[in-house]
Amino acid sequence: MAQCGARTPLANLVTGSIVLLAIAFLTPAFYYIPKAALAAVIISALLKLVDPAAVKTFWKVRKLDLIPYTFTFIGSLVLGLQYGVVIGVALDLVILIYPVARPNIEFVKPSLLTAGIECSSSKSDNPAMVVRVQGSMRYPSSRYIVDSITKQCLHGDFCRPVILDFTFAKEMDTTAIEDLYDILDAFKKENVRIVMACVKDNIKCQLVAAEIPGLTVFTSIEDARLGLQEMETESSG
């Protein structure tokens, strides 16, 4: 509207009224407008939607955003506007959901803060592996998290006690709670201890309500490490 010289929001009311009047009384006359003229009007109106500056910004800031932008543009030209919009929305949903379904998981040894450190064959001498989940544990991601932890921490001679660091987890759902049962059962069968630490209060309430047997929650990583040492001492004594 600013390009037309409008200075107040009242211009929107005037424009809307003109459009409604044209639709109500002038629609039959649109039949006699040449298609070339209609195409020129549409192209002129949509020309500014193709913004080279926006493409340059996408490329410099986040190249991933170019994917839905490009496919929406191509889909609109080849298949039609409605299909192009659907393609763009679908790709945006995939880009939005993927980090939720596949959060980054760090496997960190507390003393060295490095991932993938080999442990000795004696489980009692192994330092605990801190598993830091970079996101909430919900339906799309819970099975992936459980499978990743089980594969990494229960792999033959690499078995070691595990501390689940929930610093970045803000919420859990019922599916994630059920998957916790599975991971606790898997670790119990291998005689490997697993505890949780840095859990938000709302998640603590869910865990208490779920009454998960054998689950121990600590306030911090250090408390969890000391707690595991005490458990190992008691079991060996």
33 in any annotated domain: no
Instruction: Dump pLDDT digits (tens) for 128-174.
Output: 889 999 988 998 999 999 999 888 888 755 677 899 999 999 999 99
Say yes or no: 213 and 109 in one domain: yes
Q: What is the CATH number of the domain that holds 131?
A: 3.30.750.24
Which residue is listed with tokens 């211009």? 11
pLDDT at residue 213 above 50? Answer: yes
Instruction: Dump pLDDT digits (tens) for 53-104.
Output: 888 898 999 999 999 989 988 888 888 878 888 999 999 999 999 988 999 9
Looking at the 3D structure of the chain, how many domains does it have? 2
Reference 197, options 213, 215, 179; nearest CA is 215
34 in any annotated domain: no
176 in any annotated domain: yes
Say yes or no: 115 and 208 in one domain: yes
| DSSP of 122-140 | -GGGPPPEEEEESS-B-HH
Among candidate residues 74, 101, 128, the one where a domain is terminated: 101
Say yes or no: 176 and 80 in one domain: no
Say yes or no: 178 and 228 in one domain: yes
Say yes or no: 118 and 207 in one domain: yes
The stretch 177-200 carries a mean pLDDT of 90
d(CA 42, CA 33): 13
Say yes or no: 130 and 94 in one domain: no
Range of the domain at 76: 50-101
Burial of 163 (0-12, 13-18, 19+ CB in 10 A): buried
Pairing of strands 129-133, 105-108: antiparallel
